[in-house]
Structure 1
């Protein structure tokens, strides 16, 4: 496929053509794949290869990494479309177009070649942070012990998307004996049967069927120090700023796209279904549901783009806006899918209707890239920190004013 974005000027016409192409794929071949995934409970390698060959794995990465250089805010328009498809299809596009962000600023020359293969869709990298006995931040319990040029990795990870079938784990741990973020490390580790590494397939889930998920256990697993991204102490910088911040915005947009699909299905059913001589669409209560959904989706979408622009521009409030956008979008998706299913009545509860799959898939976003509870903590910290900084500045300004006044009186 030819590039759609110029190095110096965005090609709007080509981009709109790409959007139409992806929309047609999602509604056509994408739905065929969705039915196969639901029936077999697995994402076939052939689907991954099709997405790669279409160029859908390399949309957001810069040209120097082999990507198409589509700006983040415009890439989200494509993620919105992918998210109307099966959740496992969205997940493939989301992860492959995002992990490079975490790795590239910290990569050495050898690691950068792996990143290029990831952007090309030739290798799959799984983001490997979450632990069963800790949160997903500075309380990491997986550890590494350095002996010469080798780290020995110990610990357990869980809920690792693509952790079974991936080619590499982008894995986070801490140096033995450290606390807080200063002792954290990021490692790019090949999934090649390393000594002491146990991979447990934990892929049977409520929704997002077909995507593999892993529990990973490491017992003195040797990893060369050269696999480290950045310096010792950079682990959470790699995880949070490089991946989780923009990924939360992307997940928020996936909520918007899936909500749009739920609304589309609800409208179609309301226009078709007739009870007591009236279409559902003529009934005020159904109209109210559809109107509320419309407003909910539009409001969440606007906040997602505000968060995206903040990240793109390096704004100081990009972090809390990222969390806020996901927080609002997942709550919106819960309301929209619930009303969409209600409009379908009992019919919607049956597996044969697409809204059943949408409803199941929607639940995953409520913990993907952090629950709303942690998002609220992040936002609250930022709000309180800003208030404290403002109060301190006002106090300093007042003190300076008093000192100037006193000096003026002395001189008088």
Structure 2
């Protein structure tokens, strides 16, 4: 964690970039449908892709809650910009807790410094995103041979490595899982570009097939049986908090757009801000945004403290923030009237980008299952709950 004075300077720097160069990048991405490497290079050069990483890794050493405050600001920008800073600032953490010293030098630090790109590769087309994964490996000497499919993999076309969850052949459940760093150009890898999405324009996504792809055993992060620990504890818990804060930032952008439009739009001699129906919409939005923000920051602090309920808090925060974002962006678009439906209006882009948050890092149905599972665990631990 950095001191308050330095953090204020960093926050101002991020805010200025988002309002200036970030907005120009957003316009370019929407015009071309692509995120150029020049944007990655600029974000990396500014240090925006290693803000939460330790100083000894080349990062800025921000505390997680501090990083979340910056995530809120980044999320007011284009969805693809938010996606880059969100993923890159989190992927190192997934590896770091289980990596050897040699792997930190070869993979973790280079990913922090922007020298390599690593794609989080868990989701499969035929099942869920947990202990039911079916991509499998067989070991022959010092090499695993990987077979299976993955899909909806963000940065799956431009990455250098896939941080991939698989299982040992003929195993089931959590204990058979492994986490592997699979080179993008390894033999037997086929990647299909499926980047044509409703929103978050320009972010590349891939559908992947692995056919006995060789992966060196020293590319395994953690031990055999720890694969899901790398993914679920190391990445998904903080990532859900980050996505929740992304909802807060995007909702705040929608609210500002709606407020600015309402002040200048005149009907029957009155601005929209003089009409009680619009006043109430804006007041409700402001309240919902602040409530979600405080819940997200609470979850961030619980994760930072290593609290037992961090997983539950992350799912609560993500579930609540996504619901808030849906409501806020819908009202913001409504305040724009028919004009908001046109691509010439920023609110149209914000509305499309917001929809992606409802399934990123798990749908609300998944979050509810996580919360209820934790409630059951707490109930068992207290003998049925407090009296």
Residue in 2 aligned with 1:110?
A: 102
- Structure index of larger Rg: 1
Residue in 1 aligned with 2:127?
A: 134
Matched, 1:387 2:379: yes
Q: CA deviation at 1:370?
A: 0.7
Q: CA deviation at 1:105?
A: 1.5
Residue in 1 aligned with 2:260?
A: 268
Residue in 1 aligned with 2:226?
A: 234
Residue in 1 aligned with 2:31?
A: 39
8 Å CA contact retained: 2:378, 2:385: no
Residue in 1 aligned with 2:17?
A: 25
Q: CA deviation at 1:101?
A: 0.7
Matched, 1:211 2:203: yes
Change (3 A) 1:393 1:250: closer
In terms of mean alpha carbon deviation, does 353-362 or 122-131 score higher?
122-131
Residue in 2 aligned with 1:313?
A: 305
Matched, 1:122 2:104: no
Misfit runs of 4+, over 3 Å: 392-395
1:84 and 1:390 map into 2 onto residues whose CA distance is 42
8 Å CA contact retained: 2:177, 2:225: yes
2:183 and 2:326 map into 1 onto residues whose CA distance is 37
Residue in 2 aligned with 1:375?
A: 367
SS of 1:231's partner is coil
CA deviations 1:93-124 (Å, max 9, x no partner) are: 11111001110111123321221111111211
CA deviations 1:38-91 (Å, max 9, x no partner) are: 111110000000000011011000112111110000011110000000010011
Query: Structure 2: 5+ residue runs without aligned partners?
Result: none
Q: CA deviation at 1:393?
A: 8.8
Work out the number of aligned pairs and report it. 386
Q: CA deviation at 1:188?
A: 1.1
1:355 and 1:86 map into 2 onto residues whose CA distance is 11
8 Å CA contact retained: 2:52, 2:59: yes
1:141 and 1:365 map into 2 onto residues whose CA distance is 26
Q: Root-mean-square deviation (CA), in Å?
A: 1.2
Query: Structure 1: 5+ residue runs without aligned partners?
Result: 396-412
SS of 2:130's partner is coil
1:389 and 1:13 map into 2 onto residues whose CA distance is 42
Residue in 1 aligned with 2:349?
A: 357
Q: CA deviation at 1:11?
A: 2.3
2:191 and 2:74 map into 1 onto residues whose CA distance is 29
Matched, 1:191 2:159: no
SS of 1:140's partner is coil
Q: Pick from 166, 176, 184: which aligns with 1:173?
A: 166
Residue in 1 aligned with 2:153?
A: 160
TM-score using structure 2 length: 0.98
1:109 and 1:141 map into 2 onto residues whose CA distance is 30
TM-score using structure 1 length: 0.92
CA deviations 1:335-357 (Å, max 9, x no partner) are: 00000000000000000000000
1:298 and 1:340 map into 2 onto residues whose CA distance is 16
In terms of mean alpha carbon deviation, does 40-49 or 380-389 score higher?
380-389
